[in-house]
C-alpha cells in the first residue's frame, strides 16, 4: 500500500478545468495515479462520464468542491472552499443548494462580462454563456479563456492578475454557502468534508486556527495540507492543527488542466489517511461500507442515480 498514489482534488471542464471528465481520468492514469477524486465546483455532472472512461487499475472517488464563506473576528467575509467526498448526489437539500450556487455563478459571470463589454473590452456576454450547459459550474476561468482567445491577455493567469482577481477592477463577489451549513449538508448526505487549501494566503484572506477548531466540532473530516499553494510554514501549521483536532490529512494537486500549472499527482495523500477519510464518510452514511459507493470501476448501487446536480 505504501506505493499507492492518491490525488484527491482535480477539476474537469464541467467546472473550471480544461480536460473533459474522460480526458481527466486518462491524464490521471498516465501520471501514474492509482486513485483520483473528481471535485468539480458546485456540481457532480462529470461523475458518470469519468466513471465510464475509467482506465483499468484507476480508482475514482466522486466528489465536489463547494463554494463557501466564513466570517472572521472583525466581521469580514472570508472565502472558503470545502471538498466533499462520497456523498449521495441526490440528497434534495444538497441538490437545491448546488443549483442555487450554479445560478449565482452564472449571474456573476454575466455581470462581469457586461461590465467589461460596456468598458470596451472584447467580451460578448451572450456568446460566453451560450456554450456553457446549465449543469456546468460557470466561473471566472471561462471568462479568462475568452480574454485569451480575444488576444487581450496571453494566459488565464494574466487575465486574473489584470482583471478578475479579488481586488481587481472587474472582481465581483457571489453569495456562497456558509461553511457550517455546507458541512451539515454533506454530513447529512453521507459524505466526508475536507477544507481545501485553507492557509493559501496568496488567494486572499484565510480562516484562522480557531475557526478550523469550530468546524472540526461541527463535523469537518479533514484538512488539505499538501497543496501547491501551501508553503512549508503553512503545511507545518496545518499538520499540527490536524494532529490536535484529530482531522484527516490530505494532499492534492488541484489540477485544472491547462488553466493552471499543477499536474496530476503533484501532491498526494497517504493511503492510510485516505482510508481514514473513507471510514469517516462511511460513518456519516450510517455505517454503509465503501462497496455501496461509486469507488473504483464499480459504480454500484448509484449507477442509476441522477448525478447532474
Task: Reply yes or no on whether the pLDDT at 277 is more than 90.
Answer: yes
Among residues 272, 166, 268, which one has the least CA distance to residue 227? 268
pLDDT of residue 74: 72
Instruction: Note the pLDDT tens digit of each residue in 49-84.
Output: 999 999 998 999 999 999 999 987 777 788 899 999
Task: Reply yes or no on whether the pLDDT at 230 is more than 50.
Answer: yes
The domains of the chain, with CATH numbers, are: 99-164 (1.10.150.650)
Distance CA 249, CA 37 (A): 15
β partners of residue 64: 84
Confidence of residue 291 (pLDDT cuts 50, 70, 90): very low
Instruction: Note the pLDDT tens digit of each residue in 124-154.
Output: 888 888 877 777 778 888 898 889 989 999 9
For residues 44, 126, 23, 43, the Cα torsion angle rounded to the nearest 10 degrees is: -10
**What's the chain's average pLDDT?**
87
- Coil, strand or helix at 262: coil
Torsion over CA: 48, 52, 57, 58 (sign)? negative
Confidence of residue 112 (pLDDT cuts 50, 70, 90): very high
β partners of residue 78: 70
Tell me the mean pLDDT in the region 7-35: 95
- In contact, 285 and 190? CB cutoff 8 Å: yes
- In contact, 66 and 81? CB cutoff 8 Å: yes
Distance CA 229, CA 300 (A): 35
Residue 247: Cβ within 10 Å count: 25
**More confident call, 167 vs 90:** 90
Instruction: Note the pLDDT tens digit of each residue in 189-225.
Output: 999 999 999 999 887 788 999 999 999 999 999 999 9
Residue 114: Cβ within 10 Å count: 14
Instruction: Note the pLDDT tens digit of each residue in 250-270.
Output: 999 999 998 888 999 999 999
Tell me the mean pLDDT in the region 92-114: 90
Task: Reply yes or no on whether the pLDDT at 289 is more than 70.
Answer: no
**More confident call, 108 vs 239:** 239
What's the pTM value of the predicted model, to 2 decimals?
0.83
Distance CA 202, CA 192 (A): 26
Could you please report the per-residue DSSP string of 189-242? TT-EEEESSTT-GGGS----HHHHHHHHHHT--EEEEE-TT--HHHHHHHHHHH
List phi, psi (to 5°) of 16: -115, 25
Local structure of residue 178 (DSSP, 8 states): E
Amino acid at each position: 500500500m505504501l506505493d499507492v498514489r492518491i490525488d484527491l482534488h482535480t477539476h474537469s471542464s464541467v467546472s473550471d478545468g480544461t480536460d473533459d471528465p474522460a480526458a481527466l481520468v486518462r491524464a490521471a492514469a498516465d501520471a501514474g495515479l492509482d486513485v483520483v477524486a473528481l471535485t468539480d465546483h458546485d456540481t457532480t455532472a462529470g461523475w458518470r462520464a469519468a466513471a465510464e472512461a475509467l482506465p483499468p487499475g484507476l480508482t475514482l472517488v466522486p466528489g465536489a468542491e463547494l463554494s463557501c464563506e466564513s466570517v472572521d473576528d472583525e466581521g469580514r467575509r472570508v472565502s472558503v472552499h470545502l471538498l466533499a467526498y462520497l456523498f449521495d448526489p441526490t440528497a434534495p437539500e444538497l441538490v437545491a443548494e448546488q443549483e442555487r450556487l450554479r445560478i449565482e455563478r452564472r449571474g456573476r459571470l454575466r455581470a462581469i462580462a457586461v461590465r467589461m463589454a460596456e468598458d470596451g473590452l472584447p467580451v460578448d456576454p451572450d456568446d460566453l454563456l451560450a456554450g456553457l450547459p446549465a449543469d456546468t459550474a460557470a466561473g471566472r476561468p471561462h471568462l479568462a479563456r475568452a480574454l485569451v482567445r480575444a488576444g487581450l491577455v496571453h494566459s488565464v493567469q494574466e487575465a486574473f492578475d489584470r482583471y478578475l482577481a479579488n481586488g481587481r477592477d472587474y472582481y465581483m463577489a457571489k453569495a456562497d454557502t456558509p461553511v457550517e451549513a455546507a458541512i451539515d449538508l454533506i454530513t447529512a448526505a453521507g459524505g466526508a468534508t475536507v477544507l481545501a487549501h485553507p492557509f493559501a494566503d496568496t488567494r486572499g484572506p484565510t480562516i484562522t486556527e480557531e475557526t478550523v477548531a469550530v468546524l472540526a466540532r461541527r463535523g469537518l473530516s479533514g484538512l488539505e495540507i499538501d497543496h501547491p499553494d501551501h508553503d512549508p510554514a503553512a503545511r507545518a501549521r496545518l499538520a499540527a492543527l490536524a494532529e490536535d483536532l484529530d482531522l484527516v490529512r490530505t494532499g492534492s494537486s488541484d489540477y485544472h488542466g491547462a488553466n493552471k500549472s499543477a499536474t496530476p499527482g503533484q501532491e498526494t495523500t497517504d493511503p492510510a489517511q485516505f482510508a481514514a477519510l473513507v471510514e469517516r464518510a462511511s460513518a456519516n452514511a450510517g455505517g454503509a461500507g465503501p462497496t455501496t459507493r461509486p469507488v473504483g470501476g464499480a459504480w454500484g448501487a448509484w449507477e442509476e442515480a441522477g448525478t447532474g446536480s
